[in-house]
Structure 1
């Protein structure tokens, strides 16, 4: 565990967090796939009619789950040691919240008050809702973010911005007027993006995750996405945060933010110009990410492949093509669709010979045939058919024994 100054940023062990909510699990339970979730999160997933494991997308043979007592004990031991050794304040009661918020107006009490409110918000979703609904509280946090030009840029005060962004990140999902919050963060003579960028650059892991989540939250429409991408340094810093050597939770948060931002064409081009293809290729080849994070990597590669510049970068990197191909049928149906769309774009739409050769050398034709024999989506099947058409068939090719009227694949 890493403790930051004033106990404001604590790196939570990744396996203590629910893969769905990303919060510390209160009642960890394991599915038949072996993946553990917080009971309330996985119950909502199953109650919504889903019959797959969210992390692996495997079809569930049973929807029963088993309490993970060992993990629950570990989390309890960790929480107790944290409470006794690193958290200087007892948990606020509900009637202490308002006086503590009032203390934010006093500069000398501000940091300690924010620390108490952070501890309060982390304790439960109910507490997050209390803060989100407290009149004027969210606007007060936004005012703190907007003071980046008033001396907060100094490294000595970066910790204060981390507190604000951590707290804002915790209550985002509980805010009722989300559109109003987004407008407040981006419209007018605001400095919020400066604060978010500063924390991305200098913050601890937890606060950088919160900053990425806030950016993802803001990126709700084309105008917002463009404003974020045009802020010098934001996209580049998100790409740095998504490096294989970074904390997996930070990588996934940065990827989610990039996916949210990348829709407009100018943003796609910016991603490509900043070296996103090479960065994503590294993630595909080196990182040990969960299914949800890998889906986001492949989504971004697919996004890059929708531009001429991105396709060129992908085609120049045979390792990238091979890495994309390696994820077909290996991660999830969503990941497979992203991967096939990328291969279709560079090999069929762009007709790049290097990309075609990379697919052939990586035994891609076999994977395409296997995929066509699976229960894949109609659009995926059509793209596979298009891909098969562009590869030359000769007597030595595995395709020479393939008959489209058969329902199986001949052995190779």
Structure 2
């Protein structure tokens, strides 16, 4: 008898997908375990989520021995769980690396993120029938316990820190804030020193530049508060400098160094950890001496080394740096550190390691190029010093060339590395000088949606410099950005909208955008708010309306009834932007003003005068003034011309 379709599917699945799924799950648990402990406002939620992910490891360990015998339903369940754990890893990394100020100012938003990922893991675990898996009773009991914890966790909420909330609101609103309040905020956010403040500043800057978040908190307010905190920390440090000197010896006395941070050869804290072909990590100088002595084996495992290449372990290096900072230990001076960096730079930049990556980037095969570009992408994201060192090492021209790589993943890494490097103001000039703009525009048509998203974000970053707005417009970026705005992912649409808005500050780009037909697409976004792009569409329309070409194109779309509707039904921000656009359209145009009156604008404007934002009230007042002047003129009440 011939096998059924289901039997054939089961046979096919059992021949590899099970092992792949289990291996991926083990890798995700390892990635979560390697993340540093969170010290921010969501410390408890991060710890709970990470702990529950780690508790799943015994299940995957036991399944690894019998992965090929898993049935189709079990494999599908594990693949669903894999997607949920990948989401959990991304959330933990994002919260670890993101702006603490933004997180604490929007706690409900981040609680919702944690609740969503908890629900995803709980649901995925619920779809896996443990009785059909060949695992021990102890493991089943542990997984059932984790599942019950997740069920409770998705229903519970963290109580808000009301004192911290009051302190933040006070610190934001007052020009001269009580030092006691600033000190409490610093303690709650675990911002202990200038380095912590600098990391927070970089995280806030990267959030704005990359467009990874759409901050519904004023960036200006967060920056102002961060400056107050920085000034306070500097003041405190200067007054306590002498005390710190006297107590430095006691303060730095012998905390226990984690075993993973010690070199297996010297047993000392590693300064420049590198990975050998067996996957073991050693201090560079000691393993190099071992190899120079003629040894061809791994000292720890005694396995034969397939090659003698030493790969920098940047992740472990970062963890060591964080551990040193947390324990008040001076960071170890690294061999090969960037000697040409500006004074005051941290020693986190490893020039020798970067040079190794650049050699692979320039001369390696496709896989080596992809891996090296990915590593540079992460390094450039990590801190400001790395961005300087990578650029000084000559990476930018090579990354620009890789924007034309036939491998979509390599192209994605290259454009994202350039985006991260562009955060540094000097690097913006180097990127433009390397003729990157046309190639970044080409990346807007990449197979990889992430490459397209980050290409748009890179163009926005470069367009901060006014002369670059002209170059980007001339390179044909605007039609490609409009295409991403219409057909991209949710994040891609946001990135495209941000770039288009900034580019259209230059008048010539307004004309290009209008000729490319952007107005029609923007009006559609206003008609269908389900896409979540109403704010962005209104903002772009408002800046286009400041030119005659833009105003003419918008009025041809009969936008007045739609603006009035948005002023009546939209959010506070939408109502404000709709009023601003309506004012631009009606100013000096009696026909549009009459259309506004006929559409019921007066009622909406009067309501806006009472309940709108300050800017909305100003626009509403001005519009009502125009309407009254037109009415007086029509009734003969205005004799003057």
Q: Tell me whether the two structures share a fold, i.e. TM-score over 0.5.
A: yes
Are 1:211 and 2:448 matched, yes or no? no
Residues 172 and 382 (structure 1), Cα distance of their counterparts in 2 relative to 1, 3 Å cut: same
**CA shift for structure 1 position 218:** 0.5
Residues 287 and 298 (structure 1), Cα distance of their counterparts in 2 relative to 1, 3 Å cut: same
- Hey, what does 1:242 align to over in structure 2? 485
**CA shift for structure 1 position 208:** 0.5
Are 1:93 and 2:321 matched, yes or no? no
Residues 135 and 170 (structure 1), Cα distance of their counterparts in 2 relative to 1, 3 Å cut: closer
**CA shift for structure 1 position 137:** 6.6
Are 1:310 and 2:550 matched, yes or no? yes
**CA shift for structure 1 position 329:** 5.8
Q: 2:116 aligns with which of 68, 71, 84?
A: 71
Are 1:363 and 2:600 matched, yes or no? yes
For 1:186 and 1:111, the matched residues in 2 are separated by: 27
For 2:631 and 2:99, the matched residues in 1 are separated by: 47
**CA shift for structure 1 position 286:** 2.5
**CA shift for structure 1 position 226:** 1.2
- Scaled by the length of structure 1, the TM-score of the pair is 0.65
For 1:92 and 1:287, the matched residues in 2 are separated by: 48
Residues 139 and 77 (structure 1), Cα distance of their counterparts in 2 relative to 1, 3 Å cut: farther
Structure 2 contact 402–410 (Cα < 8 Å) conserved: no
**CA shift for structure 1 position 337:** 3.0
Residues 168 and 110 (structure 1), Cα distance of their counterparts in 2 relative to 1, 3 Å cut: farther
Are 1:294 and 2:548 matched, yes or no? no
- Hey, what does 2:25 align to over in structure 1? none
- Hey, what does 2:414 align to over in structure 1? 164
**CA shift for structure 1 position 200:** 0.4
User: What are the ranges of 5 or more consecutive residues in structure 2 without an aligned counterpart?
Assistant: 1-82, 124-278, 280-310, 318-349, 633-641
Deviations 1:192-213 (A, max 9, x none): 1221111102342110010001
- Hey, what does 2:20 align to over in structure 1? none
**CA shift for structure 1 position 281:** 0.8
Deviations 1:133-176 (A, max 9, x none): 4344774133331577xxx48xx356543331022234544xxx
**CA shift for structure 1 position 185:** 2.2
**CA shift for structure 1 position 271:** 1.7
Are 1:384 and 2:623 matched, yes or no? yes
For 1:120 and 1:182, the matched residues in 2 are separated by: 17
- 1:97-176 aligned within 5 A: 98=354, 101-109=357-365, 111-115=367-371, 118=374, 121=377, 127=382, 131-136=386-391, 139-146=394-401, 152=404, 156=406, 160-173=410-423
- Hey, what does 1:5 align to over in structure 2? none
Structure 1 contact 120–127 (Cα < 8 Å) conserved: no
**CA shift for structure 1 position 41:** 4.6
- Scaled by the length of structure 2, the TM-score of the pair is 0.44
- Hey, what does 1:82 align to over in structure 2? none
Deviations 1:228-263 (A, max 9, x none): 1111x21111111111x4311110000000111111
Deviations 1:88-122 (A, max 9, x none): xx997216954751442553335434335526855
Deviations 1:243-292 (A, max 9, x none): 1x4311110000000111111222222222222211211121225344xx
Secondary structure of the structure 1 residue equivalent to 2:445: helix
Structure 2 contact 361–372 (Cα < 8 Å) conserved: no
For 1:342 and 1:374, the matched residues in 2 are separated by: 18
- Hey, what does 1:182 align to over in structure 2? 428
- Hey, what does 1:277 align to over in structure 2? 519
Q: 1:347 aligns with which of 586, 592, 599?
A: 586
For 2:505 and 2:118, the matched residues in 1 are separated by: 43
- Hey, what does 2:468 align to over in structure 1? 224
Secondary structure of the structure 2 residue equivalent to 1:202: coil
**CA shift for structure 1 position 67:** 6.8
**Higher relative contact order by CA 8 Å / sep ≥ 6: 1 or 2?**
1
**CA shift for structure 1 position 301:** 0.3
- Hey, what does 1:57 align to over in structure 2? none
Structure 2 contact 453–495 (Cα < 8 Å) conserved: yes
Residues 240 and 68 (structure 1), Cα distance of their counterparts in 2 relative to 1, 3 Å cut: closer
Are 1:258 and 2:500 matched, yes or no? yes
User: What are the ranges of 5 or more consecutive residues in structure 1 without an aligned counterpart?
Assistant: 1-12, 29-37, 54-61, 79-89, 394-412
Number of residue equivalences? 326
**CA shift for structure 1 position 302:** 0.6
For 2:488 and 2:108, the matched residues in 1 are separated by: 33
Q: Which has the larger radius of gyration?
A: 2
Structure 1 contact 27–72 (Cα < 8 Å) conserved: no
For 1:68 and 1:253, the matched residues in 2 are separated by: 21
Residues 101 and 337 (structure 1), Cα distance of their counterparts in 2 relative to 1, 3 Å cut: same
- Hey, what does 1:192 align to over in structure 2? 436
